[in-house]
């Protein structure tokens, strides 16, 4: 059974700093990994998608890496801004017991950028 863990659960950093969010998963048989952002009371916004054959993806100030063999992914945010404050969720794409595809989510990291 896939388990996804995100550390830390909460993080506060001053504006302008670079930061790293961590995600680990127990089953390396994945087909992709996604990082999402969730603002309070809102839905999820996809930030980056890494296919299992890839090692990293970049979008603007965001860079996500994937190491399948060690079951780890990181989300790097450069030059953080107050608007980056949100909960960041890692989701691993895999196969369920019934053979269908599904995303397994981590518990999230609540990020606060201090102006």
Residue 60 DSSP symbol: T
Alpha-carbon separation of residue 64 from 32, 42, 57, 95, 99 (angstroms): 12, 23, 5, 22, 27
15 vs 63 by CB, closer to other proteins: 63
15 vs 49 by CB, closer to other proteins: 49
Q: Does residue 72 touch other proteins according to CB under 8 A?
A: no
Q: Smallest distance from the beta carbon of 72 to other proteins, in angstroms?
A: 20
Q: Which stretch binds other proteins (CB under 8 A): 12-20, 21-29, 60-68, 95-103?
A: 95-103
Q: Does residue 101 touch other proteins according to CB under 8 A?
A: yes
């Amino acid at each position: 059974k896939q388990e996804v863990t995100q550390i830390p659960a909460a993080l506060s950093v001053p504006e302008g700093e670079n930061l790293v969010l961590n995600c680990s998963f127990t089953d390396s048989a994945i087909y992709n990994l996604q990082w999402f952002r969730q603002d309070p009371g809102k839905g999820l916004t996809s930030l980056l998608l890494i296919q299992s054959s890839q090692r990293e993806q970049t979008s603007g100030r965001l860079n996500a890496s994937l190491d399948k063999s060690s079951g780890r992914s990181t989300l790097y945010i450069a030059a953080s801004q107050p608007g980056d404050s949100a909960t960041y969720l890692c989701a691993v794409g895999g196969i369920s017991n019934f053979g269908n595809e599904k995303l397994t989510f981590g518990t999230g990291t609540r990020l606060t950028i201090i102006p």
